[in-house]
Amino acid sequence: MKRELPALVVIGYALCAWFAILRAQQDSPGQTTAPSSPARPHSVWDGVYTDEQAKRGEPLYHRKCASCHGDKLTGGESAPPLAGGQFLSNWNGLTLDVLFERIRLTMPVDNPARVGRPAKADILAYILSMNSFPPGKTELQHKTELLKEILIEAK
């Protein structure tokens, strides 16, 4: 009897584990394997703005940003470029929320609150278009938490 007791304990533990696994599978239908790693964020190459949004952003950019960053987004004496290699190397690997928050909190320098979130998203769409990122079917959002899911990738 003493030798049978450890075997019964092992069988009991195995049954409990088996029932726990079955219960977990019932609680999450359709998932029979271990969860996969989190999906990679969307990329600026996935079409994260629309043509229409970039077109709305162009005149806003020229009215609010071009005096410092230049008509062709090449930068100025005291403002960095917003298109081209230097811009892409500065922002490569970051998510759009970082860039959007920089724009939202600090631009235009004389009064950042003068331009609202939707207009700044339109300006950012124009900046993305000028960096040859493709347009898509959905407008770029102006909510920071959604922009955290979009990765800036130079290539």
Mean pLDDT of the residues in the chain: 84
Mean of pLDDT values over 18-39: 47
The domain in which residue 20 lies consists of 1-32
- 3-state secondary structure at position 95: strand
37 lies in some domain: no
Q: Are residues 28 and 56 in the same domain?
A: no
Q: Are residues 78 and 28 in the same domain?
A: no
Alpha helices, DSSP H only, in the chain? 4-27, 51-64, 66-69, 85-91, 96-106, 117-130, 144-147
Q: What is the pTM of this model?
A: 0.74
Asked whether residue 97 falls in the same domain as residue 137, the answer is yes
Beta pairing partners, 43: 151
Total domains present in the chain: 2
Tell me: the pLDDT tens digits for 67-89?
999 999 999 999 999 999 999 99
